[in-house]
A and B are shown apart, each in its own frame.
Chain A
Amino acid sequence: MPDSGIGAAVKRREDFRFITGRGRYVDDINRPGQLYASFVRAPIAHANVRGIDTAEAEKAPGVVAVFTGEDLEADGVGSLPCGWVVTDKHGEPHKAPPHWPLVRGKVRYVGDHVAVVIAETLAQARDAAELVEVDYEDLDPVVDLAQAGEGAQLHDEAPGNLCYDWELGDKAAVDAAFEQAAHVTKLDLVNNRLIPNAMEPRAAIGEYDVGSDSYTIYSTSQNPHLLRLILCAFVLNLPEHKVRVVAPDVGGGFGSKIYAYAEETVCTWASKKLNGKPVKWTAERSESFLSDAHGRDHVTHAELAMDAEGKFLALKVDTKANLGAYLSSFATAVPTYLYATLLAGQYATPAVHCNVRGYFTSTAPVDAYRGAGRPEATYVIERIVEVAARDMKMDPAELRRKNFIQPDQFPYQTPVALVYDIGDYEPTLDKALEMIGYRDFAQRRAESEARGKLRGIGFSAYIEACGIAPSAVVGSLGAGVGLWESAQVRFNPTGSVSVFTGAHSHGQGHETTFAQLVSEKLGVPYEQIDIVHGDTGQIPMGMGTYGSRSLAVGGSAIVKACDKIVEKGKKIAAHLMEASVDDIEFDGGQFKVAGTDKAKGIGEIAFTAYVPHNYPEGVEPGLDETAFYDPLNFTYPAGVHIAEVEVDPDTGETKIVDWVAVDDFGKVLNPMIVEGQVHGGIAQGVGQALLESAVYDDSGQLVTGSYMDYTMPRADDFCEFRVGMTVSECTHNPLGVKGCGEAGAIAAPAALMNAITDALGAEIDMPATREKVWRHAQAKLKAAAE
């Protein structure tokens, strides 16, 4: 095992500053003369705004300005765009009503942005925000997704609140297969709405510099260049070269910090309006609950057709997806291209069809949240397969095994557009069965029953499409951007290396893993490599971090840049050693003349490149290379999670007694970080299945608007997770890696719900609250007694 290269469990170097309070987050940054913004938010879910009276607020102490949507409109500020146009099944583009940073005439969810007060202190801004008088004319809210089509209309552009009615797959083939089916399993599912709850709330500072006519935006962003692109090209019409976006330390995102929000837009615009005074906003936790983009929120009906032996013939899925009040940056893609395309799962189901209707409702916008569409897909497949096994009285592990795509079928064209490059599902299942001790489960169940407890076991054989994404593919599907990544590898004259990456670390540990990668590739000591990210003023144009893409795409770009360094280094080494370039080999930081003991270290080569006194003709000085990598395909991490639970029928408490995760992430760069990602993902998946749920009441008020009511998972909700690995290396990127950031959150909900419903002998929806579980456990005991 190497100390610091690929495969080494190097401790995260960034943790020193994080755990000693030396991180530097947006809220830690304070600019000279800075002002504070406080947003006036809609207190009701759906209303016409008949008037906004700002007079009293403007007179309040310390207030510098109060702005409303009219001010932005007068200045030509545009709408926050959705970056992915989904074309519906009739060939029409999705309905994309405007999403003004400050509302114009109407509010559409509790927390919507009505006005902003900017004052010299935060307390003054908040005090004055309460003085803004808004005259609302109440309208009926649209809260229930299942009934969204019949409710009051939120946007003139979207009759029936329908954004799109979209489909994927061969419906005729599916219908024909159902005709032939010996058995059909049907299932209705709710995929509950979640609130991201990153540890660090969103924050922004907009700062316009009058002298240089340029802007600096400090933002809690997962993708600073993308934010710059959206603000410049679509919303504020700014020249891109005059805008620098800095996303310093960012305390978690889970997707919610991908998007361009109203707050950073308004702070940036206002700073220019106020002659260059920096304008700062930091979300209060209650604002995060109300206005961060939420996740999931599907209602689904699924049917699985099988032959008499349990071979899957076809799957059909009908989903209603809640998009919230407005389209967030990538909202439309999540329940379509990131969801329906995964519905083949690990199975050789010949025909799959999925219909998705995306609806506007008077709730916070919904967008990608850890897993983004793929947890929803896995939940549909792995729940219905488990229920099918129960219907067919078959072992759920064996039913899965019977239907797995076989190793000789790769590359495998699924019936829902994707081509899986590689995978090997049976060994993963076998390893998981072995680790959990599947053969002895009946014994453990009997032992639990003897203690008055109900025991259950549940499987989840998930697959995901990561390494997002081949630009041409996503472009053909409606994406407004390319999803390549960039890297710049810069030797300093003394031999240390600065690596500039377009990926953004907000918990992933890139400063460690990317340095490991470069150390391995260039033979430079790990300690002499620094990773720079999160500043458009320093790094090449990059696309940021989401969709488990950083290593598969960003890491591949680093490899390409390292290759260019070596290629140039060979020319310099050949000159110094008076050999032919073709005879130079590079290994472990040494350029060697093949077949001789002549060698030059890469540090000396770097020095020579910057002090080129003895230098090859025609070669540029310097050792600094930039590369862009556009992936050829998605990557397909897959695995099997098995959860075992014990339910207390007296109280409905579910105790997770064992959890096994066996994942195939391809090649693993830092196993400790990968294991940590798996743990974190499972924790969020368990949170969704057992505890978390964003609840709006009938009037559209967020009932779970604080940690008093929104239940986050905690350490004592879990058992120890036991993590195993199998490896089939990705075939199309230079590292053979697949990505691991979302797997746990994708796999876990189905595994846990399969275990709980196994224990209860009844279907329930997420979250499996204690009361829900109690009612079904009591019913089971009552039925058994009769």
Chain B
Amino acid sequence: MYAFNYHRPNSLDAAAQALAANEDAKLLAGGQTMLPTMKQRLAMPSDLIDLSGIAELRGVCEDGDAVVVGAMTTHAEVAANEIVRSKIPALAKLADGIGDPQVRNRGTLGGSIANADPAADYPAAVVGLGATVKTNKREIAADDFFVGLFETALEPGELVVSVRFPVPEAAAYAKFDHPASRYAIVGVMVARTGGGVRVGITGAAPSAFRQTEMEQALAGNFAPDALDGISVSADGLNGDIHASAEYRAHLVGVMAKRAVIAARG
């Protein structure tokens, strides 16, 4: 790890100022990607701005027909939160399946989606549940948030404040995990809402995406059979020593079916 300056602001404004004041500054949320990267000397931020001192970034509340999760809420807190568990149990279950207990006790929702790792779990929830990302500057719809590999719509100086998840009628997340890292090789969040069905997929492609063909089929018939005959193209999907693009494409179908079965209860 290289030397860096450490800041722990206690307000959003102070964090934004610190970020703007240092060209090579980085935000530190749970640090579950940032710190290992720094320890391997693959990242060299001049300044780390630790967000853990900003109270308003933490916690879960109900807001009408949605659940709002603060950016600095840890995976373990989401998994254990009564509001999440009763309103969107699929989200609690997803959070409970991220990494291991150490990761879940440090890693945060905001850190995960801002990093936009193609294999992270939360992007599937944000996309699949049709969430809205609130930043210190604006609100960003899920469909516009994930732009590419480790790339989001966040602009310089912009940081995630909270994520608003609309409560679905039914939802479930099915994950096929990476054998070594336990990230998602493929993760599928399926959600049925008053407005239709959403299918959010992580792991398979450079960034989380919706599978609209599946959404349309499930809107007519929310049953696993509805997905029969839909073949997912391997074009543009990720491939590595653990799973080729073709295998990932196949797994999208398998995991989507499993998610539908689980969502039906």
Contacts and interface: CB of A to CB of B under 8 A. Distances in A.
Interface of A: 123, 126-127, 130, 286, 650-652, 691, 695, 703-704, 707-712, 769-771, 774
Contacts of A286: 40
A709 B254 contact: no
Given A695-B241, A771-B243, A710 B251 contact: no
A286 B37 CA distance: 13
Contacts of B251: 651
Contacts, number: 38
A195 to B, nearest CB: 12
A357 to B, nearest CB: 27
A709 B176 contact: no
B181 A709 contact: yes
A770 B179 contact: yes
24 contacts: A123-B1, A123-B3, A127-B2, A130-B41, A286-B40, A650-B254, A651-B176, A651-B251, A651-B254, A652-B247, A703-B241, A704-B241, A707-B180, A709-B180, A709-B181, A709-B241, A709-B242, A710-B180, A711-B179, A769-B242, A770-B243, A771-B243, A771-B244, A774-B247
A47 to B, nearest CB: 22
A472 to B, nearest CB: 46
B69 to A, nearest CB: 27
A774 B242 CA distance: 12
Please give me the 5 A-B residue pairs with the lowest Cβ-Cβ distance, nearest first. Answer: A711-B180, A711-B179, A708-B181, A771-B247, A650-B254
Contacts of B176: 651
Contacts of A704: 241
Contact of B180 (A130, A708, A771): A708
A320 B251 CA distance: 36
Given A650-B254, A708-B181, A710-B180, 8 more contacts: A123-B1, A123-B3, A286-B40, A652-B247, A707-B181, A711-B180, A712-B180, A769-B242
Nearest to B247: A771
Interface in B156-198: 176, 179-181
Nearest to B258: A650
A769 B178 CA distance: 11
Interface string B222-265: 00000000000000000001111001001100100000000000
Contacts of B242: 709, 769, 771
B222 to A, nearest CB: 20
B248 to A, nearest CB: 9
Contacts of A708: 180-181
Nearest to A697: B241
Nearest to B250: A774
Interface in B128-171: none
Contacts of B179: 691, 711, 769-770
Contacts of A770: 179, 243
A707 B181 CA distance: 7
B181 to A, nearest CB: 5
Contacts of B1: 123
Contacts of B40: 286
A123 B180 CA distance: 29
Interface string B35-76: 000001100000000000000000000000000000000000
A650 B257 CA distance: 11
A587 B145 CA distance: 80
A695 B180 CA distance: 14
A651 B40 CA distance: 34
Q: Which of B179, B243, B244, B250 has the most CB of A within 10 A?
A: B179
B264 to A, nearest CB: 18
A476 B3 CA distance: 57
Contacts of B41: 126, 130
B261 to A, nearest CB: 12
B118 to A, nearest CB: 13
B186 to A, nearest CB: 10
B92 to A, nearest CB: 20
A123 B38 CA distance: 13
Contacts of A650: 254
Contacts of B250: 774
Contacts of A127: 2
A764 to B, nearest CB: 15
Nearest to A707: B180
A703 B251 CA distance: 24
Nearest to A774: B247
A653 B14 CA distance: 49
Contacts of B181: 707-709
B210 to A, nearest CB: 23
A123 to B, nearest CB: 8
A476 to B, nearest CB: 44
B179 to A, nearest CB: 4
A14 to B, nearest CB: 26
A652 B242 CA distance: 12
A320 B162 CA distance: 58
Nearest to A653: B176
Nearest to B100: A714
Contacts of B180: 691, 707-712
Nearest to A286: B40
Most chain A CB within 10 A, of B41, B180, B181, is at: B180
Contacts of A652: 247
B137 to A, nearest CB: 33
B125 to A, nearest CB: 22
A230 B124 CA distance: 56
A126 B41 CA distance: 10
A707 B183 CA distance: 12
B217 to A, nearest CB: 19
A697 B241 CA distance: 10
Nearest to B176: A651
A718 to B, nearest CB: 14
Contacts of A711: 179-180
A740 B173 CA distance: 44
Contacts of A123: 1, 3
A126 B40 CA distance: 11
A708 B99 CA distance: 11
A645 to B, nearest CB: 16
A712 B180 CA distance: 7
A345 B179 CA distance: 33
A779 to B, nearest CB: 13
A650 B186 CA distance: 14
A691 B182 CA distance: 13
Nearest to B257: A650
Contacts of B244: 771
Contacts of B247: 652, 771, 774
B254 to A, nearest CB: 5
Nearest to B1: A123
Contacts of A707: 180-181
Contacts of A130: 41
Contacts of A712: 180
A720 B2 CA distance: 45
A708 B178 CA distance: 9
A704 B241 CA distance: 9
A585 B139 CA distance: 91
A663 B179 CA distance: 30
A771 B234 CA distance: 15
A428 B203 CA distance: 47
B97 to A, nearest CB: 12
Contacts of B254: 650-651
A286 B250 CA distance: 33
Interface in B1-39: 1-3
Contacts of A771: 242-244, 247
A91 to B, nearest CB: 42
A142 to B, nearest CB: 20
B36 to A, nearest CB: 9
Nearest to B179: A711
A771 B244 CA distance: 8
A743 B243 CA distance: 32
A127 B250 CA distance: 46
